[in-house]
Each structure stands twice: as structure tokens, then as C-alpha cells.
Chain A
Amino acid sequence: MIRSGEEQTGAVYERRVCKNASDYQYMKVGLEFEAPGFRLNDASFKQMIVSALRGLHGEIGAALPVDVLKFEEQSLTAILRVRGSDLVKLWSALTLSAFYKDKKCAFRVIQVSPFLLALSGNSREFLLI
């Protein structure tokens, strides 16, 4: 429907190039313990991330804005959100953290992406035949 008085131009095409359009980076991380079946709630998971950041980067690291968007207690996987400039700090802190209450553990970073949609699938687990 075309209203009267409006210019009739037909379909309009517009090309936009965005460079570094997304401010955030999203990480999908898993937590692995020596013995399976360890329980952890979301608050202590966040606490663990903050203490890992404090351990490597000090108080500035602990103050970085890190959000836990989703945490699954069953599989101990989570989706984190950080600013793109803080990604290296968070990632290295997670790499070097190894203990939770004197229990050995390891963070496995599954995927990192600037788009949340990309975390829905994992190309590395495709079966190559």
C-alpha cells in the first residue's frame, strides 16, 4: 500500500559494512573435574572465575565485567560474555586456573565468538566421513 504524497521508489538496496561492530565476545566453556559427578552452583562458578582473574591479573582483573549468561549444572558448561578487549585476560585466566576448593579441575574452552548465535552449533564436532 502506498500512501499518497510519499515518493514511489520501489525496492531500496543499502550496503553497510561494519568493522568490529560487536562489542562483546561470547565464550562457551566447560568445566572438567578429575572424578565425574561433581556438583557446582552458578554462584560458586562465578566466584571461581573471579578468583581465577584475580590470581592472574590482580584486582583489575577481578573487576572486569564478566557475565555468566547461562550455566548448566548437569554438564558444567556455561556461556560467558566479556568485552572484546578483555577477552585475552579472561581466556588466559581460565586457562591457568586449576583448582576449586583443593579439587583439581580444568576449564575447557569450547567456542569463542563475537556472536551468540554462533555458539548454537559446533563445527569441530561434525563427523567427517
Chain B
Amino acid sequence: MACFADLNIVNVGDRKRMQTIIETAAHLGYSTVAINHVVDFQQKGQEITNPVSIAELFPSPPIVQGKSKPIKIVTRLTLIASDVSHYNQLRTAYPQTMPYDIIAVEPKTEKLFHVACMTLDIDLICIQGTAKLPFRITRPPVNGAIARGIYFELTYFPAINDYTLRRYTISNGICLMNVCKGKNIIVSSATEEFLGLRGPYDISNFGMLFGLSEGDAKAAVSTNCRAVLLHGETRKTALGVIYTARKVTATEEKDEGRPRSKKAKTENNQ
């Protein structure tokens, strides 16, 4: 059985809070979590930067409940796209996106959704629950995305806090479900606090509210998340080739703290 994973924990910046969230996730039984860096080019001064160093944030990751293994932490970049030029920045900023394990896109218009599904080199497409979906999800791009192995992400943290956002979350989920029939969906938290996390079995039960079947709902927190991680791995290297170098010396920890590279030169390349 694939292990449970929660691929969206918002990077709140505060180290103490991040640790509490990740400890709670390990206690609830998640084997993998992804720390999410959100980049919104609509706001000024947003750039794709290097991810937080996980070894720095968490010197000794907590043990997963019932597994006796430490939790695995990966990094993820989410790009909020409301204009076509934002995609160019994602394409040209290749060295900056390189260290991220997963790259996700949140399209705001139907055209951008189509491009993200069909051509963009990403792993995830976010369907947020914070607002009503600004476009209709149609079948051709979704089928294309499923054929390319791109997954759709639904978040549940907005549904916990607010009745209105709960309505949006469930209606967006049902809209997506009508088109993709339960294939290629993952459900993740997008949480900013430890009380916003729920256990993996709770989430697979929550997926049934969208009309997912029991098996699909469980796959949405386990098998599909693993597929996303593997997709990200192949995107990071060459497609289908994974190259690893093994060092026997005791300098393994230095590998995690990547050197801070120079500022992104994304503005010139629009």
C-alpha cells in the first residue's frame, strides 16, 4: 500500500509553527509532506526563489505514527497564473524551479487552464476552494492532462474555516468530478496551522462528499500523491532517467543546504 501524503503545507515562514504543523502531520500518519511556496506575480516583488532548506528547518524529522520511520519532507512551488506572461516566467526561470520537487500551477482563466493541462511542464494543477471557479472545466483539456500524468489538486483547509468557502470547495470539487470521473485527483490540506490538519482516513471520507468512490478517495491521499512525486522526480532530471550520485563520506548533510544562488533574472525575460 502506498503511504499517505499531504502535498500542500503553506510555508508560513515561522520556523516554530512549521515544526508544529509537521509534527502533527507525522502524528496523524502522513509519511510525506510538501512545503508549499506560493508565488503570485500579480503582487509586486514576487519572485521564484530558492526553497527553504529542510535540513535547516528540521534537523531531525519526527517519526511517523505506526511506521517507525521519519517523515519525508519535500518542497513545492505553486504559481498563481492570471496572465499568459506568467507562464513564460515559469519556462524561463528554469534554474530557479530546479530545486523544487513538485511544481504546481493555479490557473485563473479557461485559456490558462487549457495551456497548463496540455503543454506546460508541471506536476499539479490546483483547484482552490477559496473562490468560485472562474471558468468551466471542460473535457478536452482534462483528458489531455490525464493522458500526460498531470494531477488535479483540491484543498480542504478553506472548507474547515468558513461556511461560504465550504460551499465553494464542495462545488468546485463536484465540477471537477463531473469531468474527470475520479481519476487523477489528490486532496491536500493547504493549511497554515496545526489544527487545520486532518487525518488521512478523515480526508478519504471527506472525498466522498465530492462523489468520489471509496477506492478513489483513498487513492487521492495515497497512490495519486506518490504518482505526483514520481512525476516531479522525472521532470527534475531527464524524462524517464533518474541520475543519483552516492557519496559514502559523512558530508551528506551538506548536500541539503544548497548554496543561495543569485537573484532570479526573470524580469528581463518577459
Chain B interface category by residue count: 20 to 34
Given contacts A105-B195, A108-B199, contact A92 B206 (CB under 8 A): yes
Within the complex, which residue of B66, B160, B197, B206 is in contact with A128, where a contact is CB–CB below 8 Å? B66
Number of A-B residue pairs at CB separation under 8 A: 54
- The 8 A CB mask of B182-218 against A (1 = contact, 0 = none) is 0000000000010111110111011011000000000
Given contacts A56-B166, A125-B66, contact A95 B195 (CB under 8 A): no
B159 A96 Cβ-Cβ under 8 A: yes
A97 vs B163: C-alpha distance when bound (angstroms): 10
The closest CB in chain A to the CB of B197 belongs to A106
At the interface, yes or no: B173 with Cβ under 8 Å from chain A? no
Interchain nearest-CB distance for B160 vs A (Å): 5
Interchain nearest-CB distance for A102 vs B (Å): 12
Interchain nearest-CB distance for A91 vs B (Å): 5
- The 8 A CB mask of A82-104 against B (1 = contact, 0 = none) is 00000010011011111000001
A104 B202 Cβ-Cβ under 8 A: no
- The 8 A CB mask of B62-104 against A (1 = contact, 0 = none) is 0001111000000000000000000000000000000000000
A98 B160 Cβ-Cβ under 8 A: yes
At the interface, yes or no: A68 with Cβ under 8 Å from chain B? no
The closest CB in chain A to the CB of B214 belongs to A88
A124 B195 Cβ-Cβ under 8 A: no
At the interface, yes or no: B29 with Cβ under 8 Å from chain A? yes
B160 A96 Cβ-Cβ under 8 A: yes
B166 A104 Cβ-Cβ under 8 A: no
The closest CB in chain B to the CB of A108 belongs to B199
- Please give 7 more A-B residue pairs, beta carbons under 8 A apart, in addition to A92-B208, A97-B160, A104-B193: A95-B160, A106-B196, A109-B201, A112-B201, A124-B29, A124-B65, A129-B68
